[in-house]
Structure formats: C-alpha cells, structure tokens
A and B are shown apart, each in its own frame.
Chain A
C-alpha cells in the first residue's frame, strides 16, 4: 500500500472516530431530555423498572390530560403557573436587559472614576449562590409585604440577572467600533440617535442573547421561587412541579409531563431568536 492510500485510510478512520465521539457526546447531552419526554408518556411501573425499559411498551398521554383536568382529578393549576412564569420572566427580562444595555454601554464607552471597582463588584455578586440569600430575602420580603407576589419575584430576578446582562452587553458594545458612532455624529446624529441608529442595531444579536439567557434563568429558577412564593397567584412552573409530590409518593409521570410543558416555550423561544444570534454582523465595518 503506498503512502497516499494509507494516509487516506487513516483520515477516514479518524473521521469515523470523530463521528462516534460526537454521537456519544450528543447522546449524553440529549438523553436526560429524551428520558423526561419518554417518562411523561409511560406508566410509573415502567419508569421505576430495574433494569430500565428503554423502549416504552405502551404510550399514553394520560399525564397531560390529567394535568389539565382540574383539582381533584390529578390536575394542577398549570394555566395559572404558566401565566405567573410568563409574567415574571418576561417583565424581569425586559427590565434586566434595559438596565444591562444602559450599564453595558456605559462600561464599554465611558471612562469614569471607580469603573473597574464597580464592574468587579457587579461580577462578585454572581459568586453568591442565590439560595444563600433566600432566607434573608424571605424575612425582608415578609416585612415589606411582597412575599408571594409577582413584584417580589420580579425584583429578585432583576437583581439576579442585571450583573450578567451588563457583563454580556458590555462585551457586545465593545465589539462595535467607536468610529461608527462618531461617524454617525458627524453625519448629523445626536449621541442618542447615533446609539439607536447605529450601535443598537449592531449590538442587537448580543442583546438578544443576553435576553435569552436572562429569560431562561428566570423561567427555570426554582430555589428562590420556592421560598418566596406560596400560592397559585404567584407560584411559577418549576415550583409547580412540587405539586406532584405527596407525603409518601411522587408522581414521576406527571412531573415529567409538566417538565415537558415547561421546556416547550423555552425551546421555541430559543429557536425563534437563534437566527438573530449569528455573529459576524459587524464584519466589514472597519478595514478589510
């Protein structure tokens, strides 16, 4: 066999190894999701079976039907939880992104006293686990009377997300060349117009990704929400999962079904915004 054909063979073998490796990695990532979907469709006996049953013997949508059947028939207030989750996540995301834009822009474009200190301080807040704050927050909220309200949770989530959105959006504004805003000002824009006409559209994908991250954080957050909400009027979907636990039993199938209901909007949103996340939009702005 000559050198060329052995090199070709080696390349093909390596290619196959890569593909197998990738497949295994993807399997590891996707399996829990797949397992949740499967578990929501089959009876508890099968879920608990050892060794595990990979292929479901019978598939039924009973859990989904039951979920929406109302109290007493195995149902939980999904619609209310969904509404709470949506209101809380969307509102806190919008506010966190607005603050993040203002803050990120300031950090990216202006020099001011104590800039790095403030930035570091913001980042340090990320090192404190949210759950550690839940008890002090609980007492505070009780005093303020905002426990078990949308407002209380929105406030907590804004505080949780703002350092992150500032950090992310700061990075994206840094990538927009300063020359562009200056060119816009020479072209007749005020600083404000230059921001909205030029810098904002260019940092748009970055802001969108910050928004997704912030939204998903709120949508999936459990620890704080479980402490700060009590009733149907404020409980979010992740907290709603607990409705499937009783004193001696856990309805795994129902829980999985609710998890699927939770995942779908998050997944859909990510898909919709995904195409706006393509980078490289600024390429061609400067030199070449």
Chain B
C-alpha cells in the first residue's frame, strides 16, 4: 500500500505561480480531501500527483518512491474525473477492462477483475451498454469501477460528484464512503463542496491561493479553524464573522454594537487590537432553542429583531439584526416567528472564535 508525500510542491505557468511550495504527508489508507474555492490550486495539485501536470519544483513521493518525472501509467494510481471521461466508443465492460487490456492481462484474469468491480458497484446488468446509454449516476459508477479494476495504490478523485443532482450526490457520497471501507486504498479527493469533504475525509486540507491554510480532521477544522478563511469556508450556513476592536475588555464592532470579550481570549489580546469575531450559527439561538453546551456561564443574553426566517423542518435559520449587521442563527425545535419580532437570543461566547484582522490567524492559544 502507499503513503503519499508532497514536499515543497510548486507549480508555475510561465511567471505565474499557482501552487506555492506546499507540503503534505498522507498516511497509507487515509482518505484526504483537498478543499477550497475555485482557483485555489487543489485540482492542479491533484493533477501533479497524477502526473498529468509537470511539477515546477519540489517533489512527490508515492509509497516512498519519488515519482516526479514518471508518466501517469508508472505511478500505479487511478483517477476519477469530474467529467467521468468514459471512453464513448467502448461498452461498459470494455471501459472497465481497458487498463487491463493495455497491461496485457490474460482474458480470464480480465473477466474476473471486471466481474469483481462490477459486483462491488452493481454494474452487472449494464456491462454491454455504452456510456451514452447510461444515466449520470451510472456513468459515475462506471468511472469508479474503472478506477477499482486497476487495484491502484492511490485513488484520485477530481470533483467526482459535481455533475450530479443534489439527491444523487448524497447517494453517491455514501457509495464512495462504502467503497473506501471495502478497498482500503489511499484516497485523495478534490472538491469545492465542504459538506463532501467533511462527510468523507479522515483529514481535510483547506487550500487557498495555492497555499495550505489548515490540515486537520473534520472536527478540528470545524471546531478549531486556524484562520479566518477556514472559519468562513467550513460550516453551513457559514460562521458569523464581524470585525471589532478590543476596548476595555469588550469587543466593539464596527457597527457600534458591543459584546463582552470571551474569557478564553483575554490573555491573547491587548486593548485596541483589531480582531475578527466569529460565532457559528449553532452557538447563537433564540433562548431555549439551542444546543445546550457546558459553558453556561459564558452565554450572553440579548434581545434582537428578526429580519428573515428560513424554516427547514427540524430547524429554522433565523436571521437577526445586531446594530445594523446581519447575523444568522440556528433554532432547534422551532416555533413560528414573524419578521420584525424581537426575540431573546443566547450567544454562547465560550464557542466564539477570534482572528487577528491583519494576518487572519486565530488568536486561540
């Protein structure tokens, strides 16, 4: 099996540097998600690992061997493309068996491995069809089957679910998770969808502008975001982030609103520091309708007017106005609310985040 290790990996197109010397160690059988907005360099990184892009500097090791200059076929990887990239002139069976045919495998061996892969993915009845006769989800499965058949050291997924509709995406997400449980290969999964990253990965790598912002388990990146960017990127709806200045042990927001400085940050900030205050929608709720947390002492009570509500059945997203700025809160066991109504809100400041405005780095020690 295979570990993957990126060392000072850099990609330049002419004078423009796209990936700035990133480093990452991926354990054997680990499921890693590379996530970030468009243009952050995540796909380029994946394509460099695949060998489809040349690297400008640094090195890539797969299973302890440097593969910098090896062609894709010599890296024992397989890749699932966003577009599926099925060969349209071949049947599903031929698509699945193509890599084995190229490798010159014996007919029986080929049939057996195609049968195994199609059994895992439920493709048995589709083997003689062509890609054009398949639905989106089926094509996606064939693409995964083609990857499995090769029995690679590393699976690379390049936004494999972004062409599917919402329902199918959820379904295929589960299938990918099951698949990883079965084949136990190392997986590198690129997505711009943080929900996919959170649900699938053992560890998430959040990228931005060709840099790695944070690497951590889904829980870590959610609960302890290292930067303001990560805080805003992970979580849906996104964290409330508002600029403030420290004044006399209080947070004074640009709008003029004030909140007490959460206890956990008192040692790390000084007066007149410029900070960004962050609070997840889960930690701000109409009193009595939140996730109860331990730090009751840090819950701040305040009455705020409602601007809009978005009922989702089991919960309602409540948008409130706090001195002219919009904050989103999550209300569990919802009761009907009218816009304009003033409600008592609880802000659990023990869960709050503070980031330095200038660097964007967390002020948590």
List CB contacts (< 8 Å) of B44-101 with chain A.
50-52, 71-73, 77-79, 81, 83-89, 98-99
Chain B residue at minimum C-beta to C-beta distance from A185: B72
Any B CB within 8 A of the CB of A127:
no
Chain B residue at minimum C-beta to C-beta distance from A204: B89
Interface size, A (range): 20 to 34
List CB contacts (< 8 Å) of B94-126 with chain A.
98-99, 102-103
The verdict on A187 contacting B98 (CB below 8 Å), with A177-B83, A284-B130, A284-B133 known, is yes
B233 to chain A minimum Cβ distance, whole angstroms, is: 26
Is B88's CB under 8 angstroms from A186's CB? Answer: no
Provide the bound-state CA to CA distance between A224 and B139, in Å: 52
Is A193's CB under 8 angstroms from B102's CB? Answer: yes
B314 to chain A minimum Cβ distance, whole angstroms, is: 33
The verdict on A282 contacting B83 (CB below 8 Å), with A186-B50, A187-B98 known, is no
Provide the bound-state CA to CA distance between A202 and B50, in Å: 24
A138 to chain B minimum Cβ distance, whole angstroms, is: 46
Any B CB within 8 A of the CB of A283:
yes
Is A287's CB under 8 angstroms from B163's CB? Answer: yes
User: Of B73, B134, B146, which is in contact with the most chain A CB atoms at under 10 Å from its CB?
Assistant: B73
A188 to chain B minimum Cβ distance, whole angstroms, is: 4
Is A281's CB under 8 angstroms from B88's CB? Answer: yes
Is A183's CB under 8 angstroms from B81's CB? Answer: yes
Is A285's CB under 8 angstroms from B136's CB? Answer: no
Is A285's CB under 8 angstroms from B131's CB? Answer: yes
Any B CB within 8 A of the CB of A198:
yes
Is B89's CB under 8 angstroms from A186's CB? Answer: no
Any A CB within 8 A of the CB of B192:
no
A172 to chain B minimum Cβ distance, whole angstroms, is: 14
Is A284's CB under 8 angstroms from B134's CB? Answer: yes
Any B CB within 8 A of the CB of A3:
no
Provide the bound-state CA to CA distance between A201 and B90, in Å: 10
Is A177's CB under 8 angstroms from B85's CB? Answer: yes
Chain B residue at minimum C-beta to C-beta distance from A198: B87
Which of A182, A184, A190, A284 is B88 in contact with, Cβ under 8 Å?
A: A284
The verdict on A189 contacting B89 (CB below 8 Å), with A182-B52, A182-B81, A183-B79 known, is no
Is A188's CB under 8 angstroms from B103's CB? Answer: yes
The contact string, 1 if C-beta is below 8 Å from chain B, for chain A 255-288, is: 0000000000000000000000000011111111
Chain A residue at minimum C-beta to C-beta distance from B79: A186
Is A288's CB under 8 angstroms from B73's CB? Answer: no
Is A187's CB under 8 angstroms from B163's CB? Answer: no
Provide the bound-state CA to CA distance between A287 and B73, in Å: 24
Chain B residue at minimum C-beta to C-beta distance from A176: B88
Any A CB within 8 A of the CB of B208:
no
For residue A284, which residues in chain B have a CB less than 8 angstroms away from its CB? 86, 88, 130-134, 139
For residue A37, which residues in chain B have a CB less than 8 angstroms away from its CB? none
B194 to chain A minimum Cβ distance, whole angstroms, is: 22
Is A189's CB under 8 angstroms from B102's CB? Answer: yes
Any A CB within 8 A of the CB of B135:
yes
Which of B50, B89, B102, B150 is A201 in contact with, Cβ under 8 Å?
A: B89
Provide the bound-state CA to CA distance between A188 and B81, in Å: 16
For residue A190, which residues in chain B have a CB less than 8 angstroms away from its CB? 71, 73
Provide the bound-state CA to CA distance between A190 and B102, in Å: 10
Is B84's CB under 8 angstroms from A287's CB? Answer: yes
Is B163's CB under 8 angstroms from A189's CB? Answer: no
Is B71's CB under 8 angstroms from A185's CB? Answer: yes
Is A179's CB under 8 angstroms from B83's CB? Answer: yes
Is A185's CB under 8 angstroms from B73's CB? Answer: yes
Which of B85, B130, B163 is A183 in contact with, Cβ under 8 Å?
A: B85
Is A188's CB under 8 angstroms from B88's CB? Answer: no
Provide the bound-state CA to CA distance between A52 and B323, in Å: 94
For residue A183, which residues in chain B have a CB less than 8 angstroms away from its CB? 79, 81, 85, 87, 146
For residue B79, which residues in chain A have a CB less than 8 angstroms away from its CB? 182-183, 186
Chain A residue at minimum C-beta to C-beta distance from B135: A288
Provide the bound-state CA to CA distance between A281 and B131, in Å: 11
Chain B residue at minimum C-beta to C-beta distance from A286: B83
Q: Which residues of B contact A (CB under 8 A)?
A: 50-52, 71-73, 77-79, 81, 83-89, 98-99, 102-103, 130-136, 139, 146, 150, 163
Q: List 11 A-B contacts (CB under 8 A).
A: A180-B88, A183-B81, A183-B146, A186-B51, A187-B150, A188-B102, A193-B102, A284-B88, A285-B84, A285-B87, A286-B83
- Closest 3 CB pairs between A and B? A284-B132, A286-B83, A179-B85
